[in-house]
Structure 1
Amino acid sequence: MGQQRVRFHSQGGGPAVIQESPDPHRESESWTAATPGATNQSPYHAISSGGPSVDSPSNHSPHLSQQSEDKTPDAAPFRTLDPYDDRPPTQYRSTSLGPQVRPRGQGDVDHYSSAGHSTATYPTDDGSASYALLYDRHVPSVISSQEDETFRRRFPLEDTREACLFRYFVEEIAHWFDLCDEDRHFQLAVPRLAHHHPHLLNAIFAVAARHLSRLPQYRTPAGILYHGQIIPKLSEHDAVEYMLKCIPALRHFHDIDDDDYRDSIIATAVILRQLEEIDEEEEDASANDNGNGQGDDAHFQSGKQQVNFLPIINAVLRSSASQALFGRRSLIQAAYWMALRQEIYHSFTRKQPPQLFPSSDLWHSASKANKTVMHTVQVAKWRWEDGSEREWMRLMDQQNYLEYEILANFRPIFKRTADKAKGEIFPTIWYGSNLEVTSIQQSIMAKSVLVAENPFLKAPSASRASWRRAENDVRLLLLELCGIALCHPASPPALLNAAIGIQLYGDFFTDRYERQALRVVVEKYRDARAWPVQKLLEMFKE
């Protein structure tokens, strides 16, 4: 007989009695490098536009598993059967190594659907030929010869501009990618790998040039001044040029059977995707952001020669070659988790379901921080695709499990409520590491969505008092989210998370002083990272 224990839900209601019984399938299997015809479950899971199947159970919360949270195997373990996974055993699933995706409007397999749905294989899984077709469809032929892979810069770098860009990436940007990575792959491993792979080095230069050219604190009449070195005429056009040089290497991802090379391509894809996110926000906000002197560059990117490489990046991350390396290449694992965090940003800001979705098999091998990432991606999928009451209940149960089990040891160093008598709006909350800050903020963002979008509040029987309580709870969560961000200026991604929350539910605030305080947070984020936030600032126009 298993043991029973009582869990109280933070959102009210009576205690839930949870039956914990031994799971005969609890032992996870070690996932080795996949080969064609293998039956390994892909770590990259498909998205679905439909809701959960009518016969999928609602009690498949990960807290039913007794596996230790501190167990971190060298290779990512994958489970054939999961307590909250109603998919059939692996031998009854498709043996395709690629992600299972579907055309819009068709049912599909997702992390809680039954086996009855049909699946379609992503075209890149057919090999390099179809991958090349995808590349040709999204990249203009005019840039097909932009990069010469035989040209490699020697270290120490002779070009002052490129040396500054390289250092800026290592010191100022890499930690964005390493927020949930204790091994700091993008700060330590990626720069070393870039010594030998020009496309990765150009990606580093591109994202660094994009950031550095926008920050006003480095501007002087002579040019950008960085660590005592003058960089004359650095502009966002340089970022475009570096980006174009590294794009063609993505085409050859399937042609070269070298693990280090594929590591470098996947890292390049994730870095360029970060650059894409900045450009997407800018293009939507305004084609004439005259405050940054980028009129020509904006026209260049929004014209006929625009490179739509987001589908290519996703194809690299989803490809069978990436999956075959996933269990034994730590850099690929780090890149994948970063890609999922990028999905959260893209999904929340675009209000679209995530395009890259993790398999539930990853849950038990994921770190505590990455469990919050998985949960937040699932919440985003529910918010903009599923919307069912049953999945909301599962996610709320999972939210409580995260708060009281997974993140129980992430306690703040110091916490003080805001003193409104002194004009304070945000609470003071200190955490000991960027990893803790990111994990807590991800949890807060997910909870904000679940509370604000509670489907039971849409029922005719829901009272106005219930709506007011939900709105007040969301406001308190956002104030906490912003307070954490302001208390950790050395972690600019914390301001990004705050900005996402404000964009989603900033209109819940009606108090003039609170709205002014939220605007200050958005401006701090803009000034810290030079990220376009025009549409977000318009929310707070008086």
Structure 2
Amino acid sequence: MPLPGGPAALACPATARVASKRSSTGCENCREQHLKCDRVTPTCGRCLVAKRPCRRTGLKIRVTQTEYGVQQRWIKTPRRLEFVDETRSVIQEAQHPDGSGADLDEAECAWPMASSDGKTRAETADASKPRIYLDRPVWPLNKADEAGLFRHFVQELAIWLDLCDSQRSFETMVPRRAGTCPVLLNAILALAARHQSNKDSGFDELLANRYHQRCLRDLIPLLSHAATVKDENLFAATIILRVLEEMEVKTMGTDYKSYLSVTHAFVERASDSLVPGTLSAACFWVGLRQEIYKAMMGQTAVRMSLHHALADRSLADADDCTWANRAVVHCADVLNHCFGHQADRWAQRFQRWGELKRWNESWHERLPPSCLPIYCEEAEAEAGVEAGDGGPAFPEVWYHSSCHVIGMQHQLLAELFLTRVDPTVETAGSQATLSEEEESRMSLRTGWHHRLRELELVRRVCGIGVGNQWTPPGMFTACMAIAAFGDRFVERSDQEAMLDILKTTEKRHARPTEHVQELMKKSWGWIS
């Protein structure tokens, strides 16, 4: 299945700028590398970041409607036409004049396997299909700096992705497979280089771009073939590139979400291979959390398909990672209820809200004891904030596993949005036996109760993030809660504590939070 919107959808600009003039065509540098150009003149965004001259041809091509004369003669064709696709047979005849060519299928795009004559299937593959894998792994790497980037990914960044994966696929399986998959290897190096450059101003900021371009050079042609959009190693590369895309918001100024469309294509095409314990399943869970991040930051529905067996919504006994993933699916369901299906009638939405609310409560009630925090100290609402550490503004909650952190945070986020759209608030004072004054008083009391509950839930999400900074995504999730609900806080101590979380996340983990910081400061009245 080709990439939705075409493979060119991946070639997003390296920066976003407000331009007064745009060219009708892209620059030569972008055209030669098959990258999307923002067409800003005199220098496009990619050339500006790469610090290179922006070359333009000056050619202008205008398509005009051709008109044929009345004397134009046309070839006569029969009424019924039969089209015969001989592409594959022609290629095989060219490769095997003696007719020895074997039948080809989609499996040729899978991991190379030795044939009876000692050659790999990749060597005898259809020439119309690009090659994904090398015959031999690249180990050891020739350059120490590349090896350092690779190790940085394994030791520092894989934990971001393996949160609810007991097999730690991105720490163990993905690095091993990257040795024979250049697309996967370059994706790893690009992410590691961007993480380093965002944290260290002295690091080469263009190095990530070079690895990224190498990766796209190989990946974009592959996505035009249906068989390759089932390859789980390319799926993993896409997931890694989406993390890179999220981090590059600081450089580009906006989130283009290009790789989310590719993730959707992988999920649709590989739904039959989304089996627990596989790399495809691990990629799906990371992709779903990435989709939730996008949906929550943009107040939109989750677009990824959740209609398959891997999206477990049961409450039966299971391991801790499964419980966490159930909470993630539930959070996606709640976001879809809040921001999707707006055409549904009020009675349907009321019923659906009740179902989601009951599931949320049941998940919490049936949570295994192994998922409970190992330490918890509630915050004192009236206490001040200690400088720099978040202080007592948030409860202190410690967990011993990353899946417990992420599972509980997503369950709390789901409850937050259910509280925001609670239909009972609208009907709380609508009883015919109450006077107008009593109805107003009851509605106000119910609304105030919900507001206090929202503040309590946000504080808890933040407290879990601050108390478990050994797993950075806990802080990322806290930033999501602040972005969605931080404007509801009026106490200066709460605002400073949340701002500290945003700043710490950007400083320590190179996750861009400047935009959210500015939004919060405006909503709190700190700046105009």
Is the partner of 1:415 in helix, strand or coil? strand
Equivalent in the alignment of 1:518: 498
1:135 counterpart = 2:7? yes
CA drift of 1:430 comes to 1.0
Equivalent in the alignment of 2:352: 391
Is the partner of 2:140 in helix, strand or coil? coil
CA drift of 1:443 comes to 0.8
CA drift of 1:143 comes to 3.0
Amino acid corresponding to residue 164 of structure 2 in structure 1:
C
Paired with 2:421 and 2:403, the residues of 1 have a C-alpha distance of: 27
CA drift of 1:282 comes to 5.3
Please say which of residues 354-363 and 506-515 is displaced more in the overlay: 354-363
Check conservation: 2:222, 2:228, Cα contact below 8 A: no
Equivalent in the alignment of 1:14: none
Amino acid corresponding to residue 271 of structure 1 in structure 2:
I
Amino acid corresponding to residue 222 of structure 2 in structure 1:
H
| Aligned with residue 540 of structure 1, among 509, 515, 521 | 521
Paired with 2:401 and 2:281, the residues of 1 have a C-alpha distance of: 21
CA drift of 1:352 comes to 1.2
Paired with 1:137 and 1:531, the residues of 2 have a C-alpha distance of: 23
Paired with 2:208 and 2:426, the residues of 1 have a C-alpha distance of: 47
Amino acid corresponding to residue 453 of structure 1 in structure 2:
V
- Deviation per residue, 1:430-449 (Å, 9 max, x gap): 11111111111111111111
Equivalent in the alignment of 2:84: none
Equivalent in the alignment of 2:179: 195
Equivalent in the alignment of 1:272: 241
Q: In 2 relative to 1, CA 308–374 (structure 1 residues): closer, same or farther, beyond 3 Å?
A: closer
Amino acid corresponding to residue 370 of structure 1 in structure 2:
N
Paired with 1:273 and 1:311, the residues of 2 have a C-alpha distance of: 10
Equivalent in the alignment of 2:331: 376
CA drift of 1:325 comes to 2.6
| Aligned with residue 219 of structure 2, among 226, 231, 249 | 249
Higher RCO (CA < 8 A, seq sep 6+): 1
TM-score (norm 1): 0.64
- Deviation per residue, 1:514-535 (Å, 9 max, x gap): 1111111111111121222122
CA drift of 1:241 comes to 2.1
Paired with 2:350 and 2:417, the residues of 1 have a C-alpha distance of: 14
Please say which of residues 266-275 and 353-362 is displaced more in the overlay: 353-362
Equivalent in the alignment of 2:450: 470
Equivalent in the alignment of 1:442: 410
CA drift of 1:458 comes to 3.5
CA drift of 1:491 comes to 1.0
CA drift of 1:213 comes to 0.5
Check conservation: 2:3, 2:261, Cα contact below 8 A: no
Paired with 2:248 and 2:328, the residues of 1 have a C-alpha distance of: 24
Q: In 2 relative to 1, CA 433–329 (structure 1 residues): closer, same or farther, beyond 3 Å?
A: closer
Amino acid corresponding to residue 386 of structure 1 in structure 2:
H
| Aligned with residue 428 of structure 1, among 396, 399, 402 | 396
Paired with 1:132 and 1:431, the residues of 2 have a C-alpha distance of: 40
Equivalent in the alignment of 1:358: 306
Is the partner of 2:340 in helix, strand or coil? helix
Please say which of residues 245-254 and 447-456 is displaced more in the overlay: 245-254
Q: In 2 relative to 1, CA 198–414 (structure 1 residues): closer, same or farther, beyond 3 Å?
A: same
1:238 counterpart = 2:207? yes
Equivalent in the alignment of 1:294: none
Paired with 1:508 and 1:407, the residues of 2 have a C-alpha distance of: 33
> By percentage of residues, which structure has more strand?
1
CA drift of 1:389 comes to 1.7
CA drift of 1:419 comes to 3.6
Paired with 2:329 and 2:226, the residues of 1 have a C-alpha distance of: 31
Paired with 2:338 and 2:271, the residues of 1 have a C-alpha distance of: 28
CA drift of 1:492 comes to 0.9
- Deviation per residue, 1:296-354 (Å, 9 max, x gap): xxxxxx9xxx99444234223322xx223323871011111111111110110111111
- Deviation per residue, 1:272-293 (Å, 9 max, x gap): 11222233465446xxxxxxxx
Check conservation: 1:417, 1:428, Cα contact below 8 A: yes
Check conservation: 1:399, 1:447, Cα contact below 8 A: yes
TM-score (norm 2): 0.65
Check conservation: 2:412, 2:461, Cα contact below 8 A: yes
Unaligned ranges ≥5, structure 2: 12-29, 37-129, 343-348, 385-391, 431-441
Check conservation: 1:444, 1:477, Cα contact below 8 A: yes
Q: In 2 relative to 1, CA 250–385 (structure 1 residues): closer, same or farther, beyond 3 Å?
A: same
Equivalent in the alignment of 2:362: 401
1:103-142 to 2 correspondence within 5 Å? 124=1, 130-131=2-3, 134-136=6-8, 139=11, 142=32
Paired with 2:35 and 2:301, the residues of 1 have a C-alpha distance of: 35
Aligned-CA RMSD value = 3.0
Q: In 2 relative to 1, CA 309–184 (structure 1 residues): closer, same or farther, beyond 3 Å?
A: closer
Paired with 1:239 and 1:153, the residues of 2 have a C-alpha distance of: 22
Q: In 2 relative to 1, CA 153–193 (structure 1 residues): closer, same or farther, beyond 3 Å?
A: closer
Unaligned ranges ≥5, structure 1: 1-123, 125-129, 225-233, 286-301
Paired with 1:206 and 1:192, the residues of 2 have a C-alpha distance of: 17
Check conservation: 1:276, 1:310, Cα contact below 8 A: no
CA drift of 1:142 comes to 3.6
| Aligned with residue 167 of structure 1, among 145, 151, 155 | 151
Q: In 2 relative to 1, CA 502–242 (structure 1 residues): closer, same or farther, beyond 3 Å?
A: same
Check conservation: 1:269, 1:316, Cα contact below 8 A: no
Paired with 1:349 and 1:323, the residues of 2 have a C-alpha distance of: 27
Amino acid corresponding to residue 384 of structure 1 in structure 2:
F
Aligned residues: 377
Q: In 2 relative to 1, CA 421–334 (structure 1 residues): closer, same or farther, beyond 3 Å?
A: same
Check conservation: 2:260, 2:291, Cα contact below 8 A: no
CA drift of 1:160 comes to 2.2
Equivalent in the alignment of 2:264: 314
Is the partner of 2:167 in helix, strand or coil? coil
Q: In 2 relative to 1, CA 350–532 (structure 1 residues): closer, same or farther, beyond 3 Å?
A: same
Q: In 2 relative to 1, CA 138–522 (structure 1 residues): closer, same or farther, beyond 3 Å?
A: closer
Check conservation: 1:270, 1:338, Cα contact below 8 A: yes
Please say which of residues 419-428 and 532-541 is displaced more in the overlay: 419-428
Equivalent in the alignment of 1:213: 197
- Deviation per residue, 1:498-529 (Å, 9 max, x gap): 00001111111111111111111111111121
Is the partner of 1:382 in helix, strand or coil? helix
Paired with 2:262 and 2:164, the residues of 1 have a C-alpha distance of: 25
Which structure: larger Rg?
Answer: 2
Equivalent in the alignment of 2:377: 416
Paired with 1:254 and 1:408, the residues of 2 have a C-alpha distance of: 48
